[in-house]
Structure 1
Amino acid sequence: MVRGKIQIKMIENTTSRQVTFSKRRKGLFKKAHELSVLCDAQVAAIIFSQKGRVYDFASSDIQKMIKRHAEHKREYFVAESHPIEQYVQGLKKEMITMVEKIEMLEVHNRKLMGQSLASCSMKELNDIATQIEKSLHIVRSRKVREKNKSTEGKKLKCDERDLKDERFRLCGRVGERPMGMPSGSKEREDVETDLVIGFPKSRP
């Protein structure tokens, strides 16, 4: 005969509920004992009844097991929160480093502008002067290149304009040639010359 599936819900009858509690509690402790023996595991179970009574089972000293459990939970929560704390501390250090770099750059820029030089040593002043000279050299070189580009551009435009003027001038000269004058670089005269070899023929 197939046993029907028991629906898990609170037993309404008080007596039946107490009987079921007693049976299930003993069965749970029996299973816990079997687990500890078969698997060589430390097992503990604590049950609080509806009336507040405490029932417990432990394969060893239950106080030591509870203490061990508490220590394990504390270590677990510390381990879980430790990466977050490390991340936050890393962000703080990175922010402090960036602020220090910004302050150093601001001080350096003020010195390059000729400000806050009273605290500079002779070496620092020489370094600042060298850097300024290098910067000026770069700026001057850039200016020369830009000026040469501008001059070359203007020269090309002048040459282009001169070529256009020369073309218009040549076209004007071609247009002033007398009508009927054949084209060419030299004027030619048509001369009819007959070269006859032998006796001359009588003309009709």
Structure 2
Amino acid sequence: MAQQVSSLKLLAALLLVVVCCFANSCCNHQTQTQAIAAAWPENAVGIGVDGGVLANDIVVGDVALAVSRDANNCFERFLLESRNASNTYASAYRACQMLGRQRRMEFVSAEWSTRQEMEEQVTVMCKNLCDCVQIVEDLEYFQCSAQHSYKSVHTMQQVYLNSSAAIVELEDKYEEAEKEMLLCIISAEQQYVDASSKAFLKLSKCLKAT
């Protein structure tokens, strides 16, 4: 019942302020404050008006109706520092991914000469065998095919061995690049966590000081 009476007093006070402002153009902040205070003087705490908005907290019973300016400033600084930490982490994360891609490209470039050499060998081998197909005379055709097939065996062995060595080399280097990228990301995550924790601790201290 007491809470209902307090709510009715609050509503009556607000209606009184509205009627005052529309009825008299000279109605000022002081008149509004006096009207509100007259409605529930026993519950008004630190009433003040700043630009039409209550400057301090107004407490009706045990319920806080507004957050103090100091607390607002605390949260604004916290949000700003949190955004800065997030932006820094996002930039660092993208940089780590770029680093990983660059490392892989460097390793591929190192094996590029091996790939070119293999492609040239295979191209020559295929051309020689295709030339044999164009021969009309049977004996000459089989002689050509036998000769270039024998050479092709050596070529294919070299292609196999070089490819196998390149696979081992690239797998090892790709793993190295992946490890470097992951360590970079972990470092960025650590910086983000530290910055976020620092911002939260500052917020807690700021709120306790208000």
Over alpha carbons, which structure has the higher Rg? Answer: 1
* Greater relative CO, 1 or 2 (CA 8 Å, sep 6+): 2
TM norm structure 2: 0.32
In terms of fraction of residues, the more helix-rich structure is 2
Q: TM-score under structure 1 normalisation?
A: 0.33
